[in-house]
Structure 1
Amino acid sequence: MAKILDRLLLFIYSLSIGALSVIAILLLTEAIPLKLDGSVERPVWIAGIVIAAVLFLLSLRFFYISIRRDRSSLSSIDQRTEYGDIQISTETIENLAYKAASRVRGIREVKTRIRITESGLDIVVRAMVDGDTPIPTLTEEVQKQVHDHVEEITGIPVSYVSVYIANLVQSPVIKSRVE
């Protein structure tokens, strides 16, 4: 809701500043005659036109920003079948990769990121491990699970799965009491 309000305010602001700067340019270039008691000095007149022109250009930019669609939230992969079009959001694919990586025993605190390339999907998995399983075996299993699960569910080829092990999860130390 806040984004919509911000865009609306930006839209109104850009229109008002644009209109005021156009009026200022027209007045300063005497396209609209205005009777003033004193004459305006040439440097002030030129500065006024330059400032009005800059404000007009800024208002055009703000106007464009206020009406354009946010493409980052619309990121998806589009496929065409004989029955119609299919769109799968990158967020859906990230969640599938997260689900597959989380199933691997020994993996904790998973984060995934997707990048769409010509050859398919590049998936980056960032995880923490428990420290009980050998890391090479663990990462290979994560790569296989993520690759197979995402390809099977989406039908989109996965070209690359990168696994980054950030750290070990520290398990709480339990001290036994000896009496």
Structure 2
Amino acid sequence: MVKVLDRLLLFIFSLAVVLASCIAGMVGLRVFGKNDVTEFIETVYTSTWLSVAIVSVAMIVLLMGLRMLYISVRRGSTQSPSINQRTEFGDIRISVDTVENLSLKAASRIRGVKDLKSRIRVTDAGLEIVIRSFVDGESSIPNLSEEVQRAVKTHVEDVTGIPVALVSVYVANVTQPQAQTFKSRVE
């Protein structure tokens, strides 16, 4: 949510800078007459509501600029998400990508599933793994799903030592068997 808000602020800030640049460029090119500019400045100094509006817009643009400056200089998290475990010998960090690859490896061993994708979520209860797959349509989908769940849970827990709380299997579609081409033999 914060990233979406920051992107929106960056968009609005960019528009404000482009607009201010265009106005400054037009003043520099003398597109506006000297009398027009003088009248506008006098109106700003005499009209309370216009000066309040200009100060308000300037403050908003200043705050957006400060936010963008903060985002550009803050120290971002350069490390990929990981699962941390403490042992008697020290810390172990396993990246989420590693767990994702392990779950894909286990699921790909099951005959009848293809085009696998995996998503990992770390919770207090353990790992929640979502496997998205296509099936061949030859085998029972509930049986294939249970087999994938069992294989992924066992493999990930055995290799990483991290408990797997949930393995969800989402069957996206059934793959079509590839047409076999036979060469005709003419004698």
The alignment's TM-score, normalised by the length of structure 1, stands at 0.71
* In 2, Cα distance between equivalents of 1:73 and 1:107: 33
Which one of 137, 141, 157 corresponds to residue 151 of structure 1?
A: 157
1:124 aligns with 2:114: no
For the pair 1:167 / 2:157, whether they are aligned, the reply is no
Residue 64 (1) aligns with residue 70 (2): yes
Bigger Cα displacement from structure 2, 104-113 vs 59-68: 59-68
Gaps of 5+ in 1: 1-9, 18-37
RMSD: 2.8
The CA deviation string for residues 93-146 of structure 1, in whole angstroms up to 9 with x for no partner, is 111101100011111110111111110011111111112222222111111110
2:92 pairs with 1:86: yes
> 1:14-25 to 2 correspondence within 5 Å?
none
Question: Relative to structure 1, is the Cα distance of residues 82 and 145 closer, same or farther in structure 2, using a 3 angstrom cutoff?
Answer: same
Instruction: State the shift of 1:90 in Å.
Output: 1.1
- How many residues of Structure 1 are paired with residues of Structure 2 in the alignment? 147
How far apart, in 1, do the equivalents of 2:53 and 2:78 lie? 39
Give the C-alpha shift of residue 72 in structure 1: 9.5
TM-score by length of 2: 0.68
2:43 paired with 1:43: no
State the identity %. 48
Going from structure 1 to structure 2, the CA distance change for 1:169 and 1:89 (only over 3 Å counts) comes to: same
The equivalent residue for 1:24 is: none
CA shift digits 1:33-88 (9 cap, x unpaired): xxxxx862233322222122111111122123223455597321111112222211
Quickly say closer, same or farther: Cα 1:129–1:72, change in 2 above 3 A: farther
Once the two structures are superposed, residues 138-171 of structure 1 have per-residue CA deviations (whole angstroms, 9 ceiling, x without a partner) of 1111111100010111111001111111111112
